[in-house]
Amino acid sequence: SQKIEQNSEALNIQEGKTATLTCNYTNYSPAYLQWYRQDPGRGPVFLLLIRENEKEKRKERLKVTFDTTLKQSLFHITASQPADSATYLCALDNTGKLIFGQGTTLQVKP
C-alpha cells in the first residue's frame, strides 16, 4: 500500500542546534516533494520544493535533500530558533495532487 511517514510526531531541540526531520514514502514515484510549515489553527505555508532529479535544495537556514533510491527526504533547519517551533509537513506529488505526511511538531527551547 502507499504510505508517507514522517519519522516522529514530536521533536525537541535546544536553540542553536540543527533540527533534522525525516519523510519516508513507499509505493509512490513523485516528480517532486514539498515541505510546509503549519502553525496551530492556521493553513500550511510553503517552504521548499525539490524535484526528483535534484539532490539538495537550500533556502536561508533551510536545507532539503531528496533520495529517490531510499525514498526519503530530509529537512534541516540550522541554527534553530524558538520562532521555528511549528509543525512541519512533507507532501509529495501524486499525479498532480499533494499527499501529506502526518507532520512533525518541532519545539525549539531557548
Q: Which residues bind other proteins (CB under 8 A)?
A: 9, 31-32, 34, 36, 41-46, 49, 89, 93, 96-103
Shortest CB 64 distance to other proteins, Å: 14
Shortest CB 15 distance to other proteins, Å: 25
> Cβ distance 73 to 81 under 8 Å?
no
CA distance 30 to 8: 22
Judged by beta carbon, residue 65 or residue 78, the one nearer other proteins is 65
Judged by beta carbon, residue 11 or residue 49, the one nearer other proteins is 49
Strand-pair partners of 19: 77
13-25 in b/e burial notation, b at 16+ Cβ within 10 A?
beeeeebebbbbb
Shortest CB 49 distance to other proteins, Å: 6
62, amino acid identity? L
Shortest CB 66 distance to other proteins, Å: 14
Judged by beta carbon, residue 78 or residue 99, the one nearer other proteins is 99
Q: Classify residue 9 by its DSSP letter.
A: S
